């Protein structure tokens, strides 16, 4: 029985993690929940899973939450704000922490969990993309495991089981191609938020669905793969695979290629991150390759999707630049979701911001350096976007 603290319980990763816990009550127990501001859903989750500790990020919602669970006994410990989320992350009863918080907000609680000796089921990209230079040494120091819950990294991780050290030559990250994979490049300038939110294969949160449409998601995954599996950027490639059945592949030194396949369902990588190294029986629909029919592959179009190259460039530069890239992207996507900038402004704003960044401490940034770089990048995007926003009118 594994005890789980779940950060971001009302989001897409959170609700799917709770599905898994509900389906496997003899394997998993939820001891902690942390959410942003969705009181109604959080209260329902507390009722169903009876965690010992709960944090709601928005302190103004505490009264509402207390009222919603007033009849429950025993009452969980209720906390608020970032400090509350940190407490859930380092809660003594938890064995593993699922980090389903989107954005840099997930970084500090994840670090707290590592320092408390918790294994991490990693569903927060920023932990490694922004925090990689700080987080990796901490993992070593505290002897905790980082178990990828993202489908691509889970696929690579699964393929690597049994591969000897130095056996890995290359990583092939598969990409669905996002909402606009079949749209001519000229039409990208006019796409709307609603268009970009229509992902062809995966059901995910809003921010990551936009990242899939720009292919920044894949660029960020390249950086994440670099930190997780220790390969140089020259040995991490992207291949477009529209069916999203192969979740990624590895090429070994003898040219053998291993792939992990499954339906496009986030619950499978999440389950493996929680059950590793065990395999748990599920009653999910088995993959039917005859039903799938064909698996196809294409070269990624870097002219149409500049975000991939921006990510490779930032990744190679290292230090705080991946944090700058990530924060600039987060801010630009937020502005796009608010319909304040156009779709193609997203890569433009990110590129400008990365170009303007002058690193002071290139190779060994501290957590403070990373957070400062993140804050700086957001401000830069906000400033630069004012000109664009006027143009949108
Ligand atoms: Mg992914």
Q: What's the pLDDT tens digit per position in 187-232?
A: 998 999 999 888 777 767 788 889 999 999 999 999 999 999 999 9
- The torsion angle over the Cα atoms of residues 365, 370, 371 and 374, rounded to 10 degrees, is 150
Residue indicated by tokens 């990693």: 122
C-alpha 151 – ligand 1 centre gap (Å) = 5
CA angle 266, 269, 275 (to 5 degrees): 130
Exposure of 2 in the CB half-sphere (CA atoms within 13 A): 26
Q: Which of 33, 40, 44, 29 is nearest to 9 (CA)?
A: 33
C-alpha 221 – ligand 1 centre gap (Å) = 7
Query: What is the rounded average pLDDT for all residues in the chain?
Result: 94
Q: Let me know: does 109 contact 34? Beta carbons within 8 Å.
A: yes
Q: How far from 267 is each of 18, 271, 388, CA to CA, in Å?
A: 10, 6, 39
Confidence of residue 358 (pLDDT cuts 50, 70, 90): confident
Q: What is the percentage of the chain residues whose pLDDT exceeds 90?
A: 86
C-alpha 150 – ligand 1 centre gap (Å) = 5
Structure letter (DSSP) for residue 285: P
What the block records as the tokens of 327 is 């924060």
C-alpha 4 – ligand 1 centre gap (Å) = 22
Exposure of 159 in the CB half-sphere (CA atoms within 13 A): 27
Q: Let me know: does 127 contact 242? Beta carbons within 8 Å.
A: no
Structure letter (DSSP) for residue 380: H
C-alpha 295 – ligand 1 centre gap (Å) = 18
**Exposure string over 184-195, b if 16+ CB within 10 A, otherwise e:** eeeebeebeeee
Q: What pLDDT score does 229 carry?
A: 96
Q: For residue 381, how far is the Cα from the chain centroid? A: 21
Residue indicated by tokens 């079949």: 182
C-alpha 49 – ligand 1 centre gap (Å) = 27
Q: What pLDDT score does 269 carry?
A: 97
Decide if pLDDT at 364 tops 60.
yes
Can you give the C-alpha Rg of the chain in angstroms? Answer: 21
Confidence (pTM): 0.92
Q: Which residues are found with C-beta within 5 Å of the ion, ligand 1?
A: 150-152
CA distance 199 to 191: 14
Q: What pLDDT score does 325 carry?
A: 97
| Residue 44 backbone dihedrals phi, psi, to 5 degrees | -60, -40
C-alpha 350 – ligand 1 centre gap (Å) = 20
C-alpha 204 – ligand 1 centre gap (Å) = 10
Q: What pLDDT score does 390 carry?
A: 58
pLDDT in tens, 17-48: 999 999 999 999 999 999 999 999 999 999 99
Q: Let me know: does 76 contact 98? Beta carbons within 8 Å.
A: no
C-alpha 128 – ligand 1 centre gap (Å) = 14
Decide if pLDDT at 311 tops 80.
yes
């Amino acid at each position: 029985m594994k005890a789980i603290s779940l950060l971001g319980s009302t989001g897409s990763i959170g609700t799917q993690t709770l599905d898994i816990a509900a389906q496997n009550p003899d394997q998993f127990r939820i001891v902690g929940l942390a959410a942003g501001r969705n009181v109604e859903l959080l209260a329902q989750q507390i009722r169903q899973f009876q965690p010992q500790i709960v944090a709601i990020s928005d302190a103004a919602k505490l009264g509402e939450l207390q009222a919603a669970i007033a009849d429950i006994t025993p009452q969980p410990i209720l906390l608020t704000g970032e400090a509350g989320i940190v407490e859930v992350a380092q809660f003594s009863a938890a064995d593993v922490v699922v980090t389903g918080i989107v954005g840099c907000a997930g970084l500090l609680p994840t670090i707290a969990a590592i320092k408390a000796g918790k294994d991490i089921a990693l569903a927060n990209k920023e932990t490694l993309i922004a925090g990689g230079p700080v987080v990796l040494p901490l993992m070593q120091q505290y002897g905790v495991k980082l178990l990828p819950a993202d489908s691509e990294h889970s696929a690579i991780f699964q393929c690597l089981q049994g591969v000897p050290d130095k056996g890995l030559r290359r990583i092939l990250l598969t990409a669905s191609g996002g909402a606009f994979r079949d749209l001519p490049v000229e039409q990208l300038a006019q796409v709307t938020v609603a268009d970009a939110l229509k992902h062809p294969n995966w059901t995910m949160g809003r921010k990551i669905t936009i990242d899939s449409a720009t292919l920044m998601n894949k660029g960020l995954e390249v950086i994440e793969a670099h930190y997780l599996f220790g390969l140089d950027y020259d040995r991490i490639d992207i291949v477009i695979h529209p069916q999203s059945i192969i979740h990624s592949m590895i090429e070994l030194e003898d040219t053998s290629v291993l792939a992990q396949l499954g339906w496009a369902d986030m619950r499978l990588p999440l389950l493996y991150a929680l059950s590793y190294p065990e395999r748990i029986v599920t009653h999910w629909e088995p993959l039917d390759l005859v039903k799938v029919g064909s698996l196809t592959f294409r070269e990624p179009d870097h002219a149409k999707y500049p975000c991939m190259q921006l990510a490779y460039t930032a990744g190679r530069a290292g230090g705080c630049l991946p944090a700058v890239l990530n924060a600039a992207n987060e801010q630009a996507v937020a502005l796009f979701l608010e319909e304040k900038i156009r779709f193609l402004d997203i890569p433009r704003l990110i590129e400008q911001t990365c170009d303007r960044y002058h690193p002071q401490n290139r190779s060994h940034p501290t957590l403070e350096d990373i957070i400062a770089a993140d804050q700086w990048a957001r401000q830069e995007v906000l400033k630069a976007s004012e000109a664009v926003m006027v143009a949108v009118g």
